[in-house]
Amino acid sequence: MFLNNHPYDTWVTKKIESTRIPAERVLHLMKQRRVGQVHGYTRFAPVMDKILGMDMYDQFMLVRAKMEACIGGAIESTNATSISNFGLNPAVGEGTTANNDTEIVMEPGMMTRLNPGETIKFNTPSSPGNGYESFSWNGNSQIGAGVGLDGAIVARDFTRGSYSAQRQAYVESKKGFDLIEEMLIIQWLMPQWKQVIQYGIDSGKLEAPGYDTSPAMKAAYLSVDWQGPDMPPLDEVKEASANQLDLANCTTTLAQIWNRKGMNWRDALKQREEEVEAMKKAGLVQEPDNGKMSQPAQRANDKKTKDSHPGAKK
């Protein structure tokens, strides 16, 4: 059953009605953890108590800091015997509140006169203290670990740790992202893709001989290469060097490298081919050793000068 509006939308004036949708028309995105499980649950379930505790800690720490900040200072006396003559001289702004509490008006540049034996000690708030940051960071890290993320990603604080530590956190988070992408592909994208292909065949806009008679042909028509969004590297120079070394050792492919960039390798090579042809027409030549651009005539002159050098071999 699906509602035409959220039940807690107070601005809705019309009656909330429900609509029954056939199960085959509903895509239920969930991660099945047990046999027979028909409903999913939020990924935050393991850390909801922790999130609530951290939220309460922040609120209480803020209240404590406010209370400490409200106390500007205190008047200390060594010989006062009663509170009747305790505090600033009434002539400089001392009064009484509605609750019969002593009230002292403070303003910038004021000059005060104390009673004999009295001194003013200003308050120095200690909240949130030196342990607040470390406690909050540890809490965020635990919450992140519970949902498969790194603490730096949860807090958006990438100033901690070395390159190796951040890369390891990046790799671990990427594993969680890959699982989510795979779940989206299987439970959401593939059913939509099958309906698109089926609609094209039924409407006559797509010719697919053998689609209904051959399972192999049907699988071929439904095959598709899903590519996720670009995952930028932490260090592009190191990533490019590693890709070049993997290609030389045949431990990776262009398809894998371009897929990590969110692009199809065929489209990338086609684009590169067009760029090379355009550079040739413009009279530009790219040197593969250093990537610099130079004019063909200049390269020929450089070669001629080198051959004419007295020390050049004939």
Does some domain include residue 189?
A: yes
Does some domain include residue 291?
A: yes
- On whether both 166 and 217 belong to a single domain, the answer is yes
Q: What is the rounded distance in angstroms from the CA atom of residue 85 to the CA atom of residue 223?
A: 91
- The tokens for 39 are 């409903």
Rg of the chain over Cα atoms, rounded to whole angstroms, equals: 36
Does some domain include residue 285?
A: yes
**Structural contact between residues 276 and 282, judged by C-beta atoms closer than 8 angstroms:** no
Does some domain include residue 214?
A: yes
Does some domain include residue 28?
A: no
Element spanning 146, H or E = helix 131-147
Name residues of the chain where pLDDT drops below 50: 86-92, 289-294, 297, 312, 314
Does some domain include residue 30?
A: no
Last residue of a domain, one of 102, 122, 142: 122
Does some domain include residue 11?
A: no
Q: Which domain holds residue 297?
A: 275-303
pLDDT tens, residue by residue, 164-187: 777 777 778 878 888 888 888 888
Element spanning 198, H or E = helix 190-202
**Structural contact between residues 286 and 279, judged by C-beta atoms closer than 8 angstroms:** yes
| pLDDT value for 251 | 92
Residue 188 identity (one-letter amino acid): W
| pLDDT value for 81 | 55
In this structure, the strands spanning 118-122 and 293-294 are: unpaired
| pLDDT value for 73 | 74
Does some domain include residue 59?
A: no
| pLDDT value for 30 | 82
| pLDDT value for 52 | 93
Under DSSP, is residue 111 helix (H, G, I), strand (E, B) or coil?
Answer: coil
Give the number of domains in the chain: 3
**Structural contact between residues 102 and 83, judged by C-beta atoms closer than 8 angstroms:** yes
Q: What is the rounded distance in angstroms from the CA atom of residue 53 to the CA atom of residue 46?
A: 13
| pLDDT value for 287 | 58
- On whether both 167 and 222 belong to a single domain, the answer is yes
| pLDDT value for 308 | 53
With DSSP H G I counted as helix, E B as strand and the rest as coil, what are the percentages for the chain, rounded to 5? 50, 10, 45
Last residue of a domain, one of 122, 138, 173: 122
In this structure, the strands spanning 18-19 and 2-3 are: antiparallel
Under DSSP, is residue 104 helix (H, G, I), strand (E, B) or coil?
Answer: strand
| pLDDT value for 291 | 44
pTM for this prediction: 0.54
Last residue of a domain, one of 226, 241, 260: 226
